Amino acid sequence: MRVKNIFIKETSDNLAVLEEELTKPVNLSKEAIEMVVRTMHNIKGTAPMVGFTALPEIATPVEQAYKEVLDNKLVVSNHMVEKTKTAVSVIQQLLVSEESYTPQTEEEQQLLIDYFNTITG
């Protein structure tokens, strides 16, 4: 199996679990928050090596925001969870597309521009 296919499979599986965690009440467990950080960190680091150059732009601010939660500098809010769900959705769309995916909706474009500023501001 090609490295890219392994990345897609593992990332898709992790995102599916993450998506399920995000449907729970806002009081995410520490394990769920760590999973967000770990998943986004892996995407950020590995995606460019297998040709998904846009993914780090999405994963980096999500990872950073949840690191701030772990550092008790930020509290998880409904808004943050909803933005994270959008990020997960965009990443999932990128993974299933062999071609470069360009966010189509205004919400997706906004997510790529100022995710971190939106949830911390």
Q: What pLDDT shows up at residue 105?
A: 59
Distance, in Å, from the CA atom of 100 to the CA atom of 32, rounded to the nearest integer, reads: 29
- Second-level CATH architecture of 3-120: Up-down Bundle (1.20)
The three-state secondary structure class of 100 is coil
Structure tokens at 44: 């950020």
User: What ranges do the domains of the chain cover?
Assistant: 3-120
Contact in structure between 55 and 88 (CB atoms under 8 Å) = no
Kindly tell me if the per-residue pLDDT of 48 is higher than 60.
yes
Q: Is 61 exposed, middle or buried (0-12, 13-18, 19+ CB in 10 A)?
A: buried
Q: What is the pLDDT of residues 3-41, one digit of tens each?
A: 788 888 999 999 999 998 888 766 788 998 999 999 999
